[in-house]
Each structure stands twice: as structure tokens, then as C-alpha cells.
Amino acid sequence: MIELNNLSFAYRRKHPVLSNITLNLSTGHIHGLLGCNGIGKTTLLKIVCGIMRPDSGRVCVDGRNPMERHPEMLSSMFIVPEEFDLPNVSLRRYAAITAPFYPNFDMEQMLGYCRELNVDADVRLHSLSMGQRKKAYIAFALACNVRMLLLDEPTNGLDIPSKGAFRRLLAGYVDDERMVVISTHQVADVEQLIDNIIILDTEGVALNATTAEICSRLSFGRVSDGAEVLYRERSVVGDVAVAVNDSGEESSLNIELLFNAATANRKAISELFIR
């Protein structure tokens, strides 16, 4: 369980990146963390894993402050940053050196993930392309079998077949004891994968709801001119919109539309999901 209470952070005074973030992330879910550039998604992930300290507010990971860097917390959490440096050794060697910090690491599993993602665990990491390196790191991260896996823009740089493989691996990874948090702009890559959506904006958390809740309360798609909607935009097929779902049936989610709606009409959207 990750609990954030009234969290704020600024790199420069009077220019807050995160303000008033109150958020609980529970296990059993793949959380999608969405927000415009510079809104603080990466900062939030770094605060959660104790790399950075918030200016104010409270962070609690399984009852502990991550800044304590308690070994138990560190061994149950893994973050794959958007950009990272790895030593110039093979992934197999890297894993052998680093795995002792993760008691549930499984080498055979990692090699299996490498096969799925089509990446060679026996060549030096610096001789791999950026995308290959990312896949290698994801394979290692998954094989650590941590309870809390944080992924910052994981699909950036991945080729098309790898995105499918990534989804299958993640869908097989999460269970009742584990959670995954994916920060991303590539919503199409993760639309069917995430089951809880968090939208951050300058005021804090604009939306935090499960995809099931969203689809039962909102509908997405083409509308006629006069229809009453919460948000509308032009597209090649005519106007598309987000409206209150009063059909009694679940709609089909469109995250891009949802995001634009939550940005343009924050109040109406967030009021629908007050818990």
C-alpha cells in the first residue's frame, strides 16, 4: 500500500511541481499515472521510492517513510526510470551482481522474459540499442518479483512486437499481493492493461478511479450536434464526446478522450468520482 497525504514538492520556490497530492495506491491493480509534461509524474515516483523528499506532506509505503530506505521496503520495490545508466556488462552479469538485493529474484524467469522480449542477456548492455536496453532492464525488473513495481514511460523506445509482449508479461505479473504503477503518455499502449486511472494536474489529483467505475459513469464516442455532453472535440468521423453514462450498460473506455475531458472540464469529471 502506497499512501500519499497532502504531498507537495517544488524544484524552484513558488513553482510547485506537485501540490496537494492525496492518493492511495493499493495492491491488486495496475495503476496508470497520467498527466501533462512537467506535471510531476516522475517526481512523484521518485518520492514514492525514497529517492527524493517531499517539501511537505506525508508518504507512507507499507507503513514506512520511504526516506528511511528500510531494506525491507527497498527489496519489495523496483523502479524502471525513463532514462537510466547501466554498467557495460551483460544483463546476466548485471543480474548476478544486483539480484542479492532482491530475495525473490529468479534468473530462469528473467531469461524467459528476455526471450519473450527478444533481447539477448549475454551481450554487453552498452552495445544494445536504447530500446533493447530498456527491454533488458524491464526483464530484470519483472524477475525481481517485487510487490511494488514502478515503471516510468516503459513503452518508450519499444518496437511494436515488444509492446504486445510487454502487455502480456505485465498482465501475468500482477496479482492480489502486487501492484504496478505505470506513468505514461502512450495511453494506447496500456489502455487494456491498466485498471485504475490517476490523472494529475496543477491542482492535484484530478481523477482517481477504476476503469470499471469510469465506464459505468461515463460514455465515450461519436455524438450528434445538439447532445448534452461533458466534453466534445472534433475528429475525422465527426464530433466525439464524453458524456454521463445513463444507459445502465458499461461503455468502452477511451483514455485519450477521458484525459482531455478531465483537463477541459475538471470539476464536472472529478465530481462524478468523489469517493
Partner 1 sequence: MHFNEEKPIWRQIYELIAKRILSGEWPEGERIVSVREMAASVGVNPNTVMRSYEHLEADGVIFNRRGIGFFVAEGARERMCAIERKKFIDEELPKLRERLLLLGLIIEVKSNSKNG
Applying CB under 8 A, the residues found at the interface with partner 1 are 28-30, 164, 167-172, 174-175, 192-195, 211-212, 215, 250-254
Place of cell 483537463: 263
**Nearest distance in Å: CB 255, partner 1:** 11
Nearer to partner 1, 47 or 209 (CB): 209
Say what angle helices 160-173 and 130-143 make with each other, to 10 degrees.
10
CB 203 to partner 1: min, Å: 28
Q: Which residues have a Cβ under 8 Å from the Cβ of 102 and sit 6 or more positions away? A: 75, 78, 144, 145, 146
What is the smallest separation between the CB atom of 182 and partner 1, expressed in angstroms? 11
User: Nearest to residue 273, comparing CAs of 6, 175, 88, 262?
Assistant: 262
**By C-beta, is 5 or 251 nearer to partner 1?**
251
Cell representation of residue 103: 530475495
DSSP at 25: E
Nearer to partner 1, 7 or 142 (CB): 142
Looking at beta carbons only, is 47 or 151 nearer to partner 1?
151
| The residue to which cell 517539501 is assigned | 55
Whole-angstrom distance, CA of residue 28 vs CA of residue 30: 7
* In the complex, minimum distance from the CB of residue 168 to partner 1, in angstroms, rounded to a whole number: 4
Q: How far is the CB of 192 from partner 1 (least distance, A)?
A: 5
* 8 Å CB contact between 26 and 20: no
One-letter amino acid of 115: R
- Between 105 and 166, CB nearer to partner 1: 166
Whichever of 21 and 240 has its CB closer to partner 1, that residue is: 240
Judge residue 231's burial from the number of C-beta atoms within 10 Å of its C-beta, 0-12 exposed, 13-18 middle, 19 or more buried.
buried
Smallest separation, CB 28 to partner 1 (Å): 7
